[in-house]
Structure 1
Amino acid sequence: MTQTDKRRGWGICVCLNLLLLLASCSTIRFIGIDTLEPSELHVPHTVRRVLIVDNAAMPSTAPCALTLGKIPLEVTEVTTDSMAFYYCHTLGERIADAHRYDDVRLYDRAYRPSHLSDQPLSASEVRQLCTDEGVDAVISLDRLQFSIKGDVDPLYFLTHDPLRVEVSGLIRLSIPSDTLTMVRTVHLSDTLRAAFEGTIDSPESISQAMRTVLREVSLYMADKSSSRFVPHWEPNVRWYYTSSSSAWKEASAYAAAEKWKEAAAIWHRLYDQARNWKVKARLASNIAVSEELCGNLSTASDWAERSYTHYLEYASVIDSTTLNRQRRYTEAMKQRLRSDKELRDWRK
C-alpha cells in the first residue's frame, strides 16, 4: 500500500467516524403551551358572589411631561375622570368571563368622592355592602394613579419615542365574617410603553390623545390584575429531544403533529430498550412532556423526576444548562400537580 493509499484510507475512516457521531446527535425542539393556573390570591370556595366597587382616591388629573423635539409642550396634565370606572368595569368583565363565581356585580357609582384621601373600606362598610347587594365579598379599587412622559415627533406630530405611562394602584379583596373581616391587598405597579396615531395640532387634541392612552392602559391593567381573583391561562415553554433513529423520527413526527399519545408509546418502548444514560434521560424527558400534554400530570411528574435523576447521576459531565432546565421542569410539574388539585377542589 502506498503512502497516498494510507492517507486516503485514514481520511475515509475519519469521515465515517464523523458521520457516526453526527448520526448519534440529538436536537431539541421547543414548543409553547398554555397552562391553567388557579387564582393568585386564595379565595375561599364559599365566596360565590362578588361586588366590584370604585373606592379610588385619585387626583382629577395626571401629570403629563411631553416634549416636541425636546421643547416642553403646553399640556402638563390630563384629566383622569372615568378611568377608575373603565378599570372596574373591565375587571368585572374579566372575572365574570372566568366563571369562577356565580355572580359578579359592579357597584353603580363611586363609593366615596375621589378627592378624599386613600381610605380602605371599613369592616362595617364591607358588611353593609354585602348585605345590601347580596354578595359574599367586595373587591374595591382604592387607588389608581398615572404619570405620562414622552416625546412628540416634530414633523408629523406623532409619538417619536414611545410614551411611558407609570401606573400605581391598590386593590383590596374584603370578605366579611362574624369575627374579623379578611382582607387581601394587591398592589398595582407598572411602567408601560404606549403609542397613538393621529395629528396633534393643538393642546385640546393632545389632551384627548393622552386620555385615550390612559383609557387603554386602564383596560390593560384591569385585564392583568384579574388573574389575582380567578383561574387564568399562563404561557409556558416545553421541549422534546429528537434523534436520527427511524423510531425516534417517527415519534418526533407524531409530536410535531401534536399526537402525543402515539409519540409517548414509541418513546416508552425506546426507553425500555436504551442502555445509554443520556439517551434514557432525554427519552424520560420526552415521555414527561407527552404525558403532560395528554393530561396525565402525575405520570408526567414522575417521568420528569426520573429524567432529572439520570442527569444528576452524571452531573459532573453534563452541561449546567441541560441540568438546570430539567430541574426547573421537574419543579414546574410538581407545581402543576398542586395547582391541578386546587382547581379540582374549586370545581367540586
Structure 2
Amino acid sequence: MAKSYSLAFVTIFLLTLGSCQSLEQISIDYLQPANLSFPPQLRKVAIVNNISNAPNNKLIAATEKIKEGTPLVSRSTAYANGDPKIATESLAEEIAHQNYFEEVVICDSALRANDKLARESTLSQEEVRQLASDLGVDFIIALENLQLKATKSVRFLNEFNCFQGAVDVKVYPTVKVYLPERNRPMATLHPNDSIFWEEFGGTAIEAASRMIPDKQMLEEAAVFAGTVPVKYLVPMWKKGTRYLYTGGSVPMRDAAIYVRENSWDDAYELWNQAFEGTKNQKKKMRAALNIAVYYEMKDSLTKAEEWAEKAQQLAKKIDKKNITDSAQTSIDDVPNYYLTSLYLAELKERNVQLPKLKLQMSRFNDDF
C-alpha cells in the first residue's frame, strides 16, 4: 500500500533532527482558481433560496451499539434538513467577501414558499429571466438543497484520563448556476464538507452535557454550509505554509535574518552564494529549496519549480540508498527527498492552475 505524507508532517520530523538542519516556517497567501469560469461580462449576480419545502430541523437520532473493549462510550447519527435562509445569506456574504463580482444581491426568501403543487425545483428559463430582470443582475446562483448528517460521540481518552464529547456534522449543499440565455442550468454543484465541535469532562455524562446544543449546531452548520460551494464558484485566497533552511552556514543564518526583515532579494543573494560556493550536496540542496521559495514569493512559479527540481535531484542523491518503490520505505529513510518532492508537487499544481486563474482574473486586467 502506498504511503503519503503532508509537508507539515515531514517538517515536524526534520525539526527533530537538530540545529544543523533547522527549518523556519513562513506563511504565503496565493489565489486558487475556481472550478467554474464565468465570462467577464457577468458582473452582477443574485444569490437565491430555491429550496422547495421549509425544512424540519428536528434531529431523529439512531444510537449505535458500541463494541465492548473500545474507548467509544456512545455514538449516534442523525439527519436533518439545513436552514436554507441562513445558508443562503452565508453563501451571499462569502461570495461578496471575495470581491470577484461587481455586485452581489441576495434573495433569501424561499422562491417556492407559495407553491401549492409540487414541481421540479430547477428554475425555468422564464423564471430565471424574470428574476434576473427584477433583481437587476446578469445571472443567478441558487441554493437548491441542504442536507446535514450529524454524528455525536463520547469516548474515553486514556492518555488524558478524561472523556471527550464530539459532534461532527457533514453538510451537503446543492447549488445551481443559471444564465438567462440558457434553458438549462449552466452547472450543478454537489460539494460536501464537515464541521466539528468537541468538549471534555471528567465523566461521560459531563462531556455529553457540554456538547453544543442542537439548535446552535444547526445554525452554525447552516452558516458553514453556505461557505462550502464558494471555492467552486470564485477564485479564493489560500494560506499556505513554506519552510526555509536557516542553519548550516553563516550565509544561511544571515539570509534568515533578511527574510524576517522582508528583504527577500538580499536573502536570495546569500542563498545563491551558498549554492554556488559549496560542493556539499546537502548544503546545495538546502540553498536550492530556499531559492525555490524565493521565486514563489516573487510569483515566478516557473523559476520556483526549476529550483525545487534541483533541490529534489540533490535530495535524491543524498537519500539514494534508501529510495525504493517498496511500501516499506518511510520518511525516516528519505526525509530530504520527501520534503523536496512534496514542495515540488505543490508548485507543479500551482503552475498547472495558472492559465485557468489568469483567465478567471482577466476581468481585473490580470491585476492580482
TM-score range, shorter chain: 0.7 to 0.9
The CA distance in 2 between the partners of 1:111 and 1:325, in whole Å, is 51
Letter in 1 for 2:341: R
Residue in structure 2 matched with residue 139 of structure 1 by the alignment: 141
For residue 284 of structure 1, the aligned residue among 281, 288, 297 is 288
1:217 is paired with a residue whose SS is: helix
The CA distance in 1 between the partners of 2:222 and 2:275, in whole Å, is 52
Alignment of 1:1-348 (within 5 A): 25-58=20-53, 59-65=55-61, 83-107=83-107, 109-113=109-113, 116=118, 119-150=121-152, 161-177=165-181, 181=184, 183-194=186-197, 209-312=213-316, 316-317=320-321, 319-341=333-355, 342-343=357-358, 344-348=361-365
Structure 1 pair 118/281, CA: closer, same or farther in 2 (3 Å)? farther
Cα shift at 1:160: 6.8
Contact kept, 8 Å, 2:52 with 2:111, in 1: the verdict is no
The CA distance in 1 between the partners of 2:347 and 2:91, in whole Å, is 30
The CA distance in 2 between the partners of 1:104 and 1:29, in whole Å, is 41
Letter in 1 for 2:105: R
Contact kept, 8 Å, 1:33 with 1:238, in 2: the verdict is yes
Structure 1 pair 217/24, CA: closer, same or farther in 2 (3 Å)? closer
Deviations 1:181-224, CA, capped at 9 Å, x for gaps: 4522221434433369xxxxxxxxxxx94222211111112123
Cα shift at 1:147: 4.3
Letter in 2 for 1:183: M
Cα shift at 1:225: 2.6
- Number of aligned residues: 306
Structure 2 unaligned runs (5+)?
A: 1-16, 64-72, 155-162, 200-211, 324-332
Letter in 1 for 2:123: L
The CA distance in 2 between the partners of 1:24 and 1:85, in whole Å, is 54
Q: TM-score, normalised by structure 1?
A: 0.73
The CA distance in 1 between the partners of 2:127 and 2:308, in whole Å, is 50
Cα shift at 1:139: 0.8
Structure 1 pair 345/298, CA: closer, same or farther in 2 (3 Å)? farther
The CA distance in 2 between the partners of 1:284 and 1:102, in whole Å, is 42
Structure 1 pair 333/195, CA: closer, same or farther in 2 (3 Å)? closer
Residue in structure 2 matched with residue 10 of structure 1 by the alignment: none
The CA distance in 1 between the partners of 2:314 and 2:306, in whole Å, is 13
Deviations 1:169-190, CA, capped at 9 Å, x for gaps: 2111223436x64522221434
The CA distance in 2 between the partners of 1:311 and 1:34, in whole Å, is 27
Per mean C-alpha deviation after superposition, the further-off stretch among 278-287 and 187-196 is 187-196
The CA distance in 1 between the partners of 2:74 and 2:311, in whole Å, is 60
Per mean C-alpha deviation after superposition, the further-off stretch among 255-264 and 265-274 is 255-264
The CA distance in 1 between the partners of 2:47 and 2:286, in whole Å, is 49
Contact kept, 8 Å, 1:64 with 1:148, in 2: the verdict is no
Cα shift at 1:283: 1.0
Rg bigger for which structure? 1
1:63 is paired with a residue whose SS is: coil
Per mean C-alpha deviation after superposition, the further-off stretch among 268-277 and 295-304 is 295-304
Cα shift at 1:264: 1.1
Which structure has greater helix proportion? Answer: 1
1:193 is paired with a residue whose SS is: strand
Cα shift at 1:34: 2.7
The CA distance in 2 between the partners of 1:242 and 1:35, in whole Å, is 23
Query: Between the two proteins, what is the percent identity of the paired residues?
Result: 27
Structure 1 pair 127/306, CA: closer, same or farther in 2 (3 Å)? farther
CA RMSD of aligned residues (A): 3.8
Letter in 1 for 2:59: P
2:248 is paired with a residue whose SS is: coil
Q: TM-score, normalised by structure 2?
A: 0.70
The CA distance in 2 between the partners of 1:244 and 1:151, in whole Å, is 48
Cα shift at 1:332: 2.0
2:165 is paired with a residue whose SS is: strand
Contact kept, 8 Å, 2:304 with 2:347, in 1: the verdict is yes
Letter in 2 for 1:246: V
Contact kept, 8 Å, 1:304 with 1:326, in 2: the verdict is yes
Structure 1 unaligned runs (5+)?
A: 1-21, 153-158, 197-207
Contact kept, 8 Å, 1:66 with 1:150, in 2: the verdict is no
The CA distance in 1 between the partners of 2:339 and 2:237, in whole Å, is 22
Cα shift at 1:98: 1.3
The CA distance in 1 between the partners of 2:228 and 2:110, in whole Å, is 22
